[in-house]
Copies of this chain bind each other. A is one copy, B any other.
């Protein structure tokens, strides 16, 4: 399944005449198999640990490329860097405003909601819509507990 996912993503790139370099395959595969919402720096460090060492510039170039082709989406969690997530299945994200932890949300309504939003947006602004991202912010269960304790003193 992850194997198919990689092949599928590579196929999309290929069909756009994007060169399939080893670095791009490595990073794409990393994102498909690690749903940890890593930053460019984290991808770079993690790959350095293992066999493949890829320059930080290439990591930045590649994730931007993958975002352009809608294979990956960008996330901000307030730590100053940009985080990335492979976008195989439609979903959105919740970010903890206290610790920055990111969680995925898979909602069956997601596609329909997006279509609705696209339509409203198009009618009201005449923009040609490419993508719609939903970003929810709040407190993760752990931070609720922590902050709850403090409030109870």
- Using a CB–CB distance below 8 Å, which chain A residues touch chain B? 76, 92, 94, 96-97, 103, 105-107, 109, 113, 116-118, 120-121, 124-141, 144
A137 to B131, CA, bound (A): 5
A50 to B118, CA, bound (A): 40
Q: From B105, B126, B131, give the contact of A121 (CB < 8 A).
A: B105
Residues of chain B lying within 8 A (CB to CB) of residue A135:
132-135
* A-B interface, 9 closest residue pairs, ranked by CB to CB distance from nearest: A129-B138, A128-B139, A127-B138, A103-B125, A130-B138, A126-B141, A94-B127, A107-B120, A132-B136
| Closest residue on chain B to residue A96 by CB atoms | B127
Residues of chain B lying within 8 A (CB to CB) of residue A105:
120-121, 124-125
B121:A94 contact, CB within 8 angstroms: yes
A28 to chain B, nearest CB (A): 22
| Closest residue on chain B to residue A118 by CB atoms | B136
A19 to chain B, nearest CB (A): 23
User: Which of A113, A121, A124 has the most chain B CB within a 10 Å cutoff?
Assistant: A121
